[in-house]
């Protein structure tokens, strides 16, 4: 069988579909994102191979050629991703200066002892209002109903632990009657 004879009788529309499909897939490789160029490229490649191939052997040879071209393009993309132009688009190269500090949460120690009211049931976690500020809070395993007065007992990182405010808590804060 003569392989040159396989590609002698061709039309420009299937070849245009194949070339356009390859270009769109390569564009998708260099600019990953939504995937529209990749999907359109696959559709055009499939249509081009179906329109061009008159036999199964021609279709298999075209698929092998397309895969070889895409494999070479992928090798170039991967090389570019590690140290080339593509790395500038994908890899974040900016750094945080040493004088700028980042914390995943703010220091909430100023809230210790603040009094508020539960906006939801604490079983043991829920929401409480402290002077108009809604905070996610937890109790130490205790069930606390909604609309109960609570105070912030301790803060562990971003975990705010509350306790139920009782009448004895008020007495401890008030001066003794004379």
Q: Is the alpha carbon torsion for 155, 157, 160, 163 positive or negative?
A: negative
d(CA 129, CA 59): 69
CATH superfamily of 109-167: Nucleic acid-binding proteins (2.40.50.140)
> What pLDDT sits at residue 93?
58
User: How much of the chain exceeds pLDDT 70, in percent?
Assistant: 75
Express each pLDDT in 8-32 by its tens digit.
555 788 888 889 999 998 888 877 7
> What pLDDT sits at residue 13?
86
How far, CA to CA in Å, does 58 sit from each of 1, 41, 79? 12, 20, 32
Neighbouring CB atoms inside 10 A of 47's CB total 16
Q: Where are the alpha helices (DSSP H) in 31-163?
A: 36-52, 56-83, 85-90
∠ CA 92-95-98, rounded to 5°: 165
Chunk the chain into consecutive blocks of 10 residues (it has 178) and report each block's average pLDDT, rounded to whole numbers: 54 86 86 81 91 89 91 84 62 56 64 91 90 89 90 87 80 52
Q: Where are the domains of the chain?
A: 3-88, 109-167
Residue with tokens 């393009």: 73
> What pLDDT sits at residue 156?
85
Give 137-142's long-range contacts (Cβ < 8 A, gap of 24+).
137/161, 137/162, 138/162, 139/163, 139/164
- pTM summary value: 0.44
Checking DSSP bridges between strand 115-118 and strand 149-156, what pairing results, if any? antiparallel
């Amino acid at each position: 069988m003569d392989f040159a004879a396989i590609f002698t009788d061709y039309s420009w529309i299937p070849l245009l579909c194949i070339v356009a499909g390859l270009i769109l897939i390569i564009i998708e490789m260099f600019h990953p994102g939504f995937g529209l160029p990749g999907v359109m490229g696959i559709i055009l490649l499939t249509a081009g191979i179906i329109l061009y191939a008159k036999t199964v052997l021609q279709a298999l040879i075209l698929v092998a050629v397309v895969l070889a071209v895409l494999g070479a393009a992928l090798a170039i993309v991967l090389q570019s991703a590690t140290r080339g132009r593509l790395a500038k688009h994908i890899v974040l190269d900016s750094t945080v200066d040493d004088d700028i500090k980042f914390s995943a949460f703010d220091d909430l120690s100023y809230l210790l002892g603040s009094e508020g009211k539960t906006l939801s049931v604490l079983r043991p976690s829920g929401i409480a209002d402290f002077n108009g500020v809604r905070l996610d809070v937890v109790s130490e395993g205790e069930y606390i109903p909604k609309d109960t007065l609570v105070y912030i007992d301790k803060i562990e990182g971003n975990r705010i632990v509350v306790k139920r405010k009782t009448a004895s808590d008020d007495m401890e804060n008030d001066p003794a009657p004379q």
